[in-house]
Amino acid sequence: MTLCNVLLVDDETAFVETMAKRLAKRNLQVSAAYNGNEALQKLEKDQTTEVVILDVKMPGMDGIETLKEIKKRHPLVEVIMLTGHATVESAIEGMKWGAHDYLMKPCEMEILMTKVDEAAAKKRRHEDRITEARIKEISSKRGY
């Protein structure tokens, strides 16, 4: 049984592949994307994705833009920013745009796992509350 559904986005193929394998080994269902557009497409196809691990510095559509798009289209999906040192500011900016957290590369696997768990839990909590709200709404309609 998988802990949660993760989408890994980075332009460094080698990094993505290894990271995907390591995350899969830790019982996550991992899919990979190598740029912002691909990530958006994958999210569109696979609605079960709960957490996106997003590199800030990418050619083309960069991490912040991708983040904005993701949050616009899939508000419930949680995003963890991954960054080199030069882009700490943009990671912080990312937090402003609704990212769950940020981590610096290279990062400890344990920390990353904790963050992913937190993010997934947060997303589920949000979903539950939305469901609850819906149920309330529906039941109140019925009751009426």
Partner 1 sequence: MKNNRLLQNPFYKSLMRNMFLTVILVSITPMILVIILLLSRFQTSYEEKVEAHLKELVLKHKQNIDGFLKERMNNIRYLSKVLNIEQLSDEQFLDERLAILQSEFGPVFVDMGIVNDKGKQVAYAGPFKLGEADYHEAEWFKKANTYPNFVSDVFLGLRGLPHFIVSAKKDFKGGEYILRATIDFVAFNNLVENIRIGETGFAFIVNHAGEFQTKPRAASVPNRAILDELLLEGKKIPEKVKVSRKEDSSGRDHIYVTASLKNDDWMLIYQQDTADAFSIVRKAFQIALLIFTIGSLGIVIMSYLISHRTVKRIARADQEKEMMNQQVIETGKLASIGELAAGIAHEINNPVAIMVEEAGWIQDLLEEEEFKKSENLDELNRALKQIGNQGRRCKEITHKLLSFARKTDSRTQEVDINQLIREIIGISEQRAKYSKIVFQSDLYSGLPNVRASQTEIQQIFLNIINNAIDAMEKSGGSITISTRQSTDTVMIEFADTGPGIPMANLGRIFDPFFTTKPVGKGTGLGLSICYGIVKKLGGDIQVKSVVGFGTTFQILLPAITTQNETMNINNG
Alpha-carbon 134 to chain mean position: 24
User: 27, 60, 84, 129: which one contacts partner 1 (CB under 8 A)?
Assistant: 84
- Where helices occur in 1-87 by DSSP H, the ranges are 13-25, 36-45, 63-73
Piece of 27-35, 46-54, 63-71, 84-92 that binds partner 1 (CB under 8 A): 84-92
Cα separation of 20 and 35, whole Å?
15
Instruction: Output 60 or 106, the one with its CB closest to partner 1.
Output: 106
Provide, rounded to whole angstroms, the least separation between the CB of residue 85 and partner 1: 4
How many CA atoms, within 13 angstroms, populate the side-chain half-sphere of residue 109?
Answer: 10
Q: What residues make contact with partner 1 under the rule CB under 8 A?
A: 12, 14-15, 18-19, 21-22, 25, 57, 84-86, 104-106, 109
